[in-house]
Structure 1
Amino acid sequence: MSKYSTNIGSLIKELRKKKEMTLKDLSSASNLSVGFLSQLERGMTSIAIDSLEIIAHSLDVELEFFFDFNKKRVEGNQIVRSYNRDAIAITDKIIQHNLSSDTKSYNLYPRLIDIMPFTDNGSYNLQLYSHEGEEFIFVLEGVLTLNIEDEEFTLYPGDSTTFNSTKPHNWKNETNCITKIICVHNPNPFKEI
């Protein structure tokens, strides 16, 4: 199976099992909770890029292992056409589209994220996580439930927020329709120094 035909959570689980690591082992190595890692592997939550980088190092792979940056781009082309965006399945509920033609040169990492309805939202406790940097979120369509520390916010189309990513946070779609958001991270974990 190609690593790009599956989602990142499933790929993490596959790598973890190949290394004969338990969720508890990966939790100790990554400093992420067992509950969060379990939700990630089952496609029930998203993950910040720098947290994914910590998991990658814990599993002895590079961050780029989870992404297909080998697609050919026209040299010098800074325009990303809507029909030519990279699409990456973070989980079976979250699809990420890169909004930059060059993911390695800039401080910002902009993405369009499609969040499918989480049909079993009430049956689990959303695990919050934190990471280095700052985050900007803009809701294009649908309704986003955003948790930051002890507060829960409901964002509608046109709503936006900026927050320090070191605060524990996570988001989900509790509706029966797709939610689309623009998410921009700083720093960009792919930037070449």
Structure 2
Amino acid sequence: MVKQLIGKKLKATRLRNDMTIQELAKKSRVSSNMISRIERGLTIPSVEILMKLAEAFGMSISFFVEEAERGTLIVPTIQRKGEPIFFFEDKHQITSLTHGIRDPGFSVFCDTLEEGCSSGQGGMVHTGEEFAYVLKGKMQFVIDGQNYVLEEGDSIVFKASLPHRWDNLHAGQTEILWVVSPAPNVSQ
């Protein structure tokens, strides 16, 4: 059990950081063969190796050996009444539909945007992928300099490493369903 838990956490952390085994080996000074064996649950690493791996991610060694104190394996959400995680001047309200799941690989959010709300003029850039589905209203996305206008029922998926931003074009509220991978670290 311990071997599998450490292996799963190591692999999930490496993938969330968009690293190959070879890149992690170089950064941590742990052989790629050892990292592969740990990720597959074939061996329990020494404390020294765990310290090197944790340091490569800027984490504490305890992350790899402790069970999640919070979190569950199943998170039901009734009628989009998820966990509110972000409010901005009554213009932008985000609710998590996956908050509380243990070691998530992705997150799902419902986003309610008031008329005129936007992400700003600067383009956001981060690792992973994003998927947006317009539940109600009309949105403009600018991704890598190209404009995409989405209406109710339309969706878009893109690499989040491309500069991106959005604007609510609807004369009223727009509701968006977001799927973001890897799961961002959201705290309340």
TM band (smaller chain):
0.5 to 0.7
d(CA) in 2 for partners of 1:84, 1:116 = 18
SS, match of residue 158 in structure 1? coil
> Kindly tell me: are residues 90 and 166 of structure 1, through their superposed partners in 2, closer, same or farther at Cα, counting changes over 3 Å?
farther
Identify the residue that residue 185 of structure 2 maps to in structure 1: 190
Moved over 4 A (4+): none
Return the letter of the residue paired with 2:105: N
The reply on whether 1:155 has 2:150 as its aligned counterpart is yes
Q: Which runs of 5+ in 2 are unaligned?
A: 1-69
Q: Is the 8 A contact 1:97 1:113 kept in 2?
A: yes
The reply on whether 1:128 has 2:123 as its aligned counterpart is yes
Shift of 1:89: 3.1
> Kindly tell me: are residues 101 and 130 of structure 1, through their superposed partners in 2, closer, same or farther at Cα, counting changes over 3 Å?
closer
Return the letter of the residue paired with 2:112: D
Identify the residue that residue 177 of structure 1 maps to in structure 2: 172
d(CA) in 2 for partners of 1:100, 1:147 = 26
Identify the residue that residue 65 of structure 1 maps to in structure 2: none
The reply on whether 1:141 has 2:139 as its aligned counterpart is no
Q: Is the 8 A contact 2:132 2:176 kept in 1?
A: yes
Shift of 1:86: 1.3
Identify the residue that residue 41 of structure 2 maps to in structure 1: none
Shift of 1:84: 4.0
TM (normalized to structure 2)?
0.54
d(CA) in 2 for partners of 1:88, 1:102 = 12
Identity value in percent: 23
Residues 10-25 of structure 1 correspond to what in structure 2 (within 5 A)? none
Shift of 1:116: 0.7
**CA deviation digits over 1:40-77, x for unaligned, max 9?**
xxxxxxxxxxxxxxxxxxxxxxxxxxxxxxxx99x665
Q: Which runs of 5+ in 1 are unaligned?
A: 1-71
The reply on whether 1:100 has 2:95 as its aligned counterpart is no
d(CA) in 2 for partners of 1:157, 1:84 = 20
1:118 counterpart (96, 116, 122): 116
d(CA) in 1 for partners of 2:80, 2:145 = 39
Return the letter of the residue paired with 2:82: R
Return the letter of the residue paired with 1:168: P
Report the aligned-residue RMSD. 2.6
> Kindly tell me: are residues 116 and 186 of structure 1, through their superposed partners in 2, closer, same or farther at Cα, counting changes over 3 Å?
same
Rg comparison, structure with higher value: 2
Higher relative contact order by CA 8 Å / sep ≥ 6: 1 or 2? 1
Return the letter of the residue paired with 1:132: T
Identify the residue that residue 89 of structure 1 maps to in structure 2: 86
Q: Is the 8 A contact 1:104 1:190 kept in 2?
A: no
Shift of 1:126: 2.0
d(CA) in 2 for partners of 1:168, 1:186 = 16
d(CA) in 1 for partners of 2:176, 2:133 = 5
d(CA) in 1 for partners of 2:74, 2:128 = 28
